[in-house]
Amino acid sequence: MNAYGLMAVFETPADAMHAAERVRDAGYSKWDVHTPFPVHGLDAAMGISNSKVGWFTFIGGATGYTTGMIMIWWMNAFDYKIVIGGKPMFSPFYAFPVSYELTILFASFGSLIGMALLNRLPRLHHPLLRNRRFCQGASHDKFILVIETADPKFNADETRKLLASAGSKHIEMVED
């Protein structure tokens, strides 16, 4: 049998969080907790560092602002100069509203694309989504901890014992 990982179902967020602390302290690296909503404190319990999405947002915003300023200068002050009311051909003030909107537009795309890239989404297939119990729980009212068989510390018996001692009532192997 080709197994993806060992899945342990927990009934409450506190149980899942305590289990996560133990799995973290046991030194596992390829594991995750699947929850129907973000559980606060779980990031620390899993030892996850701060998300890097902000960098994508920043790069998006900087690109948007620069694009706006350069586009407006190029169109109205370089490629085809139009004199309107004797005003200067280019001024950052009249170019600001559009550049401001483009900053926000590009930064928003940056955030969403950054989130998708960091999460390796979209994906059309995941071994866990073929498991009936997982689908009925992780997006509904259960908290499911999964340790992948690919983890260097994974050992079918030891890992199962660890999850059972953490208080899971249901542990099963998920096929790949």
Span 20-49, contacts to other proteins by CB under 8 A:
20-21, 24-25, 32-49
- Closest distance between other proteins and the C-beta of residue 154, in Å? 18
155 binds other proteins (CB under 8 A): no
12 binds other proteins (CB under 8 A): yes
- Considering only residues 52 to 111 of the shown chain, the ones binding other proteins according to CB under 8 A are 52-54, 57, 61, 71-72, 75-76, 79-80, 82, 84, 87, 94-95, 97-98, 100-102, 104-105, 107-109, 111
- Closest distance between other proteins and the C-beta of residue 22, in Å? 10
| Residue nearer to other proteins on the CB measure, 29 or 155 | 29
State the Cα–Cα distance between residues 9 and 70, nearest whole angstrom: 54
| Residue nearer to other proteins on the CB measure, 24 or 160 | 24
- Say how many residues touch other proteins, by CB under 8 A: 79
State the Cα–Cα distance between residues 172 and 150, nearest whole angstrom: 16
State the Cα–Cα distance between residues 51 and 89, nearest whole angstrom: 43
- Closest distance between other proteins and the C-beta of residue 23, in Å? 12
Helix (H) / strand (E) containing 5: strand 3-10
State the Cα–Cα distance between residues 22 and 20, nearest whole angstrom: 5
Of the residues 70, 130, 141, 175, which one makes contact with other proteins according to CB under 8 A: 141
Instruction: Supply angle C-alpha 117, 124, 17, rounded to 5.
Output: 65
List CB contacts of 92: < 8 A, sequence separation 6 or more. Answer: 69
List CB contacts of 69: < 8 A, sequence separation 6 or more. Answer: 92, 95, 99
